[in-house]
Amino acid sequence: MEGVYLSAMIPPLTDLVLERKCIEVDVPFRGGMALHFDTGTLVLDARTSAPSLWWEKESPGSAAPAPGRFTNLLKGAVVRAVSQQGTDRVMELIFEPGSVYASSDFRLVFEAAGRNANLILTRVRDGRILDCTRRVPPSLNRYRTIVPGALYVKPPSSGLLLGSWLTGGELAAALKEGNPVEALYRTMEGVGPVTAGALLREAEASATDVLRVTAEFEKRLLEGRFRPWLGPDGPLPVKLGPGRPIPDPLAPPAYGTIPDFRSDRLNELKSLLEKKKVNLENRKSKMDSALRRLVPPEIYRTWGNLLLSMGNGSRKGLEKIELTDWEGKIHVIPLKPSRSLVSNASYFFRKASNSHIERKHLEKSLAGTERELEFVRTTLENLERMNPDELGELLSRFRKERTSREDARNTPTAKDLGEGWRCYVGKNAHQNDEITFRLARKGDLWFHARGVAGAHVVLKMDGRKDPPPRSIIIKAALEAARNSRISSGVVPVDYTMVRYVRRIRKGKPGQVVYENEKTIFVESD
């Protein structure tokens, strides 16, 4: 919907709602609002895909109440004025409150501006925003802030105001410089590609200069001589070129009337739950596999003792060794080639001491995942029996979870360790990948809790040649320990230079192998 076409919708809409009381306010679908009057329902569709408005002669079916301030202030209020900001895609409804306690009239602003579509409720007295369907903080828009409590600032004009399209010569100059369609809709307020294309076709068909056709079009808009017309590309406020008349510009769009509110929520929630179910099932499968692969502590100790019994502690380069224990049982022992037999034996003894902690945390995580998976499965089974309010609460919860996951993927910030040292701590697999392979340099130190899932921690050297003091190494190791599956007690933390850390081939983000590491034990409590 273009601004000039909205101009043709304002007069019939004014006839329908002016001096009429708003009986009820609700949300028929996500991103929309319905204002119920005794003669019908005005639907304001502020979805960013295709913002529009239309009139329903019959009240829609099920719907959810509008957000608090919208309902409290507009319910029972009387429409005193309907207007448009110039010829842009912004419509305003001025309401006189129905409550004697209200201190000011209210303005409902419908900004039907594509991806910036919004519904904003403000006080007429001081322009203060009371509520809105889409918040726009300063971080998203430097020109204006759309949040409750801020002063409402109108969106900037999209071009020359109606009545001045041809007076300054700007349009003529723009037409000479480049694409005529783009020149038209970028120069004149409220004119979009649909109207610009129609003006050019009309000029070509009548063998008339496009400026003359535009002048006639502007005159008809100024005089209010609207004749809604459906052209080849879309609706127009007046007859331009081939097409057919639009008998009722406020009729529901071709894609249908108000969608069922419950169905709209149900489909979105079902999609979110199905995705979460798949993710939880994958996580459970990986935990089950990890538990099955856990080596019992007594086996680790047996391997360590067998390696020590070999006597040759300096032997390196072996990936595995086959030894027979004192009861005649054969053990195929996996080794780290970079370590001697004694060093591998020490590693197995440490694993034996900590394996019960690893199992405990895996079992705890698995139990939590199974509970969450059972909740998701039960919810999916009961979705069809839930009312719109129950669906709305669940949908809000899962939307927040999704938003939190997306926020967690952002690049982490540096943490001050004191004495001029800083480190980065990964909060998830994507942050781990970002820290280790983008923010880190080869000479920085890399930390990770040994043998368990956890954060990558990179201690920045920042050009220093001397190694960091032991106190700083301990602080960085503590960050790795506290952000791992073993977050309490004594935690072994491996650390090495970033140059010795590399991605696992075809592995997922954050999956690495490393070498030349040292180990430090820290008390994370």
Reduced to 3 states, what is the DSSP secondary structure of residue 8? helix
Q: What is the pLDDT of residue 256?
A: 42
- Looking at domain 3-132, what is its CATH homologous superfamily? ibrinogen binding protein from staphylococcus aureus domain (2.30.310.10)
Amino acid, single-letter form, for residue 411? T
Of 468, 467, 480, 465, the closest CA to residue 415 belongs to: 480
DSSP letter assigned to residue 115 = G
CA distance 72 to 75: 6
Q: Which strands sit side by side in the sheet containing 229-230, from one edge to the other?
A: 235-236, 229-230, 244-245
Residues 29 and 258 sit within 8 Å (Cβ to Cβ): yes
Calculate Rg over the CA atoms of the chain.
34
CA distance 32 to 28: 6
Of 252, 257, 262, the closest CA to residue 60 belongs to: 257
Q: What is the pLDDT of residue 254?
A: 60
Q: What is the pLDDT of residue 83?
A: 95
**β-strand partners of 520:** 493
Reduced to 3 states, what is the DSSP secondary structure of residue 224? coil
Q: What is the pLDDT of residue 102?
A: 66
Q: Which two tokens stand for residue 219?
A: 């005159």
Q: What is the pLDDT of residue 404?
A: 67
Residues 45 and 32 sit within 8 Å (Cβ to Cβ): yes
Sign of CA dihedral 96, 102, 103, 104: negative
Of 454, 439, 438, the closest CA to residue 495 belongs to: 454
3-state secondary structure string across 467-514: CCCHHHHHHHHHHHHHCECCCCCEEEEEEEEHHHEEECCCCCCCCEEE
Task: Give the torsion through C-alpha atoms of 361, 367, 368, 369, to 10 deg.
Answer: 110
Residues in the chain, overall count: 525
Sign of CA dihedral 70, 72, 78, 80: negative
CA distance 84 to 440: 54
Of 36, 83, 76, 30, the closest CA to residue 55 belongs to: 36
Of 93, 127, 97, 126, the closest CA to residue 111 belongs to: 93
Residues 111 and 120 sit within 8 Å (Cβ to Cβ): yes
Q: What is the pLDDT of residue 68?
A: 78
Residue 156: exposure state from Cβ atoms within 10 A (0-12, 13-18, ≥19): exposed
Residue 326 half-sphere exposure toward CB, CA atoms < 13 A: 6
Count the Cβ atoms, other than its own, within 10 Å of residue 221. Answer: 20
**β-strand partners of 322:** 332
Terminal Cα-to-Cα distance of the chain (whole angstroms): 61
3-state secondary structure string across 243-284: CEECCCCCCCCCCCCCCCHHHHHHHHHHHHHHHHHHHHHHHH
Q: What is the pLDDT of residue 100?
A: 64
Q: What is the pLDDT of residue 402?
A: 73
Per-residue pLDDT of the chain (525 residues; tens, 9 = 90+): 899 999 999 999 999 999 999 999 988 877 889 999 998 999 999 988 778 999 988 765 546 677 778 888 899 999 999 999 999 999 999 999 887 666 789 999 999 988 889 999 999 999 999 999 989 888 788 789 999 999 999 998 889 999 999 988 899 998 888 788 888 988 999 999 999 999 999 999 999 999 999 999 999 999 999 999 999 888 999 999 899 999 999 998 764 444 445 566 678 888 888 988 999 999 999 999 989 888 899 999 999 999 888 876 667 788 889 999 888 899 999 988 878 888 889 989 998 888 888 888 889 999 999 999 999 999 888 887 776 667 767 877 887 777 666 665 666 778 999 999 999 999 888 889 889 998 999 999 999 999 899 999 999 999 898 999 999 999 999 999 999 888 677 889 999 999 999 998 888 888 999 999 999 999 876
Of 117, 4, 135, the closest CA to residue 52 belongs to: 117
Token pair 């719907």 is at which residue?
63
CA distance 73 to 121: 9
3-state secondary structure string across 334-389: ECCCCCCHHHHHHHHHHHHHHHHHHHHHHHHHHHHHHHHHHHHHHHHHHHHHCCHH
Q: What is the pLDDT of residue 309?
A: 86
Q: Which two tokens stand for residue 138?
A: 């300063």
Please provide residue 100's backbone torsions phi and psi, each rounded to the nearest 5 degrees: -70, -15
Q: What is the pLDDT of residue 128?
A: 94
Query: pTM score, two decimals?
Result: 0.53
- Angle at 474 (CA atoms; ends 469, 478), nearest 5 degrees: 150
